[in-house]
Chain A
């Protein structure tokens, strides 16, 4: 998922009978499947949780461009370069849809950027891993975008209208991302033994971080329970992780690859795979800023923002001058 461990600021989930009339009416609308729109009354916790989740999601789309952008100039053919460029451009677009959705909740774009650049707002742990070979670009599309889709499809039904609509647009475009990644890998596994080994190496490095994208088990989390009551989260992290594994293992088999998990085994009773536990210490380290590429990613974001100040200011000055001139001409 692109948003991991979003906190909800509530000690526990309230029952309808414990709520005041406004909150109760709000919860009943959500229970009835109605969408909440900007400027309508909402509990402060709902607003804050959504801002956190949507901004984390938007930040992930934006930071997610960096590991892939690294390979635009190194893509093996002109066609692959054009495809990767289009994919990275989509990620920028997805970030923008989501920032706009967050802004309808009363937070400004500059505040959202400031929170990302200062480290106050998070982005997905997955983008703090390096892209060492071309096979990594295939693995990201297949696994990372695959895991993202798993999470984003239910978010299309989110109770907050602008977020739900942004997710519908995003999901329409996301399938291209996963398929282009798998396509890269299908080509490579039919190549030389060295190329095939490169694909296996990419899977070995990306498998566990991809499973961590769903976040730690949240069966007992009050934050998740509240987010589910508000319908800004629909499935538990474990449910989605299980679905992802069940979907991905046959795809790995088709490529002739081995999933790097000795505990992976088909379980006939549950109709799904049993699999090992990701290294959650690693996950918490990466979230805390100590992953392999955290400093590099945030550094690149800050530099792009700071280096662009003169340009943004120049365009603002130009726009002001033009509008002053046309106002003067109208007099």
Chain B
């Protein structure tokens, strides 16, 4: 039995001016084939103007169990949001 092609994650820029966004994954022997397959699998209806592919094995992800330590510290820092500060109406738009 032959070995499975590696898995690639696919990112598509939907329109000019937007970020690339993760849309899914696929198997391909190499990067060039991954781009071609991504074109056929994820952009059959003009969904993109640019494709990135990256081998899934090369992605480092935060672990679900780190969710608390990673993200909770920002919960208490409400002053980072502009609505934390009351600006009198007389000052006008700020």
Shortest beta-carbon distance from A159 to chain B in Å = 15
Q: Is A279 an interface residue (CB 8 A)?
A: no
In the bound complex, do residue B24 and residue A97 qualify as a contact, i.e. CB atoms below 8 Å apart? yes
Please name all residues of chain A whose beta carbon is closer than 8 Å to the beta carbon of B54 when the two chains form the complex. none
**Chain B residue with Cβ nearest A313:** B2
Contact status B4-A100, CB under 8 Å: no
The answer to the question of A12 belonging to the interface, with a C-beta cut-off of 8 Å to chain B, is: no
- With a CB–CB cut-off of 8 A, which chain B residues contact A89? 40, 44
B44's contact among A90, A103, A165, by CB below 8 Å, is which?
Answer: A90
Q: A169 to B26: give the CA distance in the assembly, Å.
A: 15
Given A39-B64, A110-B4, A100–B30 Cβ distance below 8 Å? no
Interface contact B24-A316, CB-CB below 8 Å: no
Chain A: interface secondary structure? helix
User: Which chain B residues lie closer than 8 Å to A37 at the CB level?
Assistant: 64
Contact for B29 among A41, A97, A103, A318, CB less than 8 A: A318
A100 with B29, Cβ < 8 A, contacts A93-B40, A313-B2, A316-B3 known: no
Instruction: Please tell me if the beta carbons of B30 and A322 are within 8 angstroms of each other in the complex.
Output: yes
Inter-subunit contact A312/B5 (CB<8 Å): yes
Q: How far is the CB of B60 from chain A (nearest CB, A)?
A: 13
Q: Which residue of A40, A86, A108, A313 is within 8 Å of B64 (Cβ)?
A: A40
Contact B41 A41, beta carbon cutoff 8 Å: no
Q: Determine if B29 and A315 form an interchain contact, defined as CB atoms under 8 angstroms apart.
A: yes
Whether A100 contacts B64 by the Cβ 8 Å rule is: no
Interface footprint category on B: 20 to 34
Q: Scoring B residues 41 to 64 as 1 if CB is less than 8 Å from chain A, else 0, what string do you get? A: 110110000000000000001011
A-B contact count (CB 8 A): 53
Which residues of the other chain, A, contact B1 by a CB distance below 8 angstroms? 110
Would you call B13 an interface residue if the criterion is a C-beta within 8 Å of the partner chain's C-beta atoms?
A: no
Q: Shortest Cβ distance from B46 into chain A, in angstroms?
A: 13
Of all chain A residues, the one with the shortest Cβ separation from B37 is: A96
Query: A108 to B40, Cβ gap below 8 A?
Result: no
Q: Nearest B residue to A317 by beta-carbon distance?
A: B29
Contact with A along B2-21 (1 / 0, CB 8 A): 11110100000000000000
Q: Which residue of chain A has the shortest Cβ distance to B45 in the bound complex?
A: A173
Contact of A319 among B4, B7, B30, B44 (CB under 8 A): B30
Interface residues of A in 1-48 (CB under 8 A from B): 37, 39-41
| Residues in B whose Cβ lies below 8 Å from that of A166 | 24
- CA gap between A322 and B64 in the complex, in Å: 37
Asked whether A309 is an interface residue with its Cβ less than 8 Å from the other chain, the reply is yes
- Residues in B whose Cβ lies below 8 Å from that of A319: 29-30, 33
What string of 1s and 0s marks CB contacts (under 8 Å) between A288-310 and chain B?
00000000000000000000010
Given contacts A41-B64, A93-B44, contact A312 B24 (CB under 8 A): no
* Cα of A169 to Cα of B12 in the assembled complex, Å: 14
Check A309–B29 contact: CB distance below 8 A: no
Residue positions of B touching A, CB distance < 8 A: 1-5, 7, 24-27, 29-30, 33, 40-42, 44-45, 61, 63-64
> Can you list 6 contacts pairing A with B, beta carbon distance less than 8 Å?
A90-B44, A108-B4, A166-B24, A312-B29, A313-B2, A315-B29
Starting from the known contacts A89-B40, A316-B5, A318-B29, 6 additional A-B residue pairs (CB-CB under 8 Å) come to A108-B4, A109-B4, A173-B45, A312-B5, A312-B29, A316-B29
What 9 pairs between A and B have smallest CB-CB spacing? A319-B30, A315-B29, A319-B29, A40-B64, A313-B2, A100-B25, A110-B4, A96-B41, A316-B29
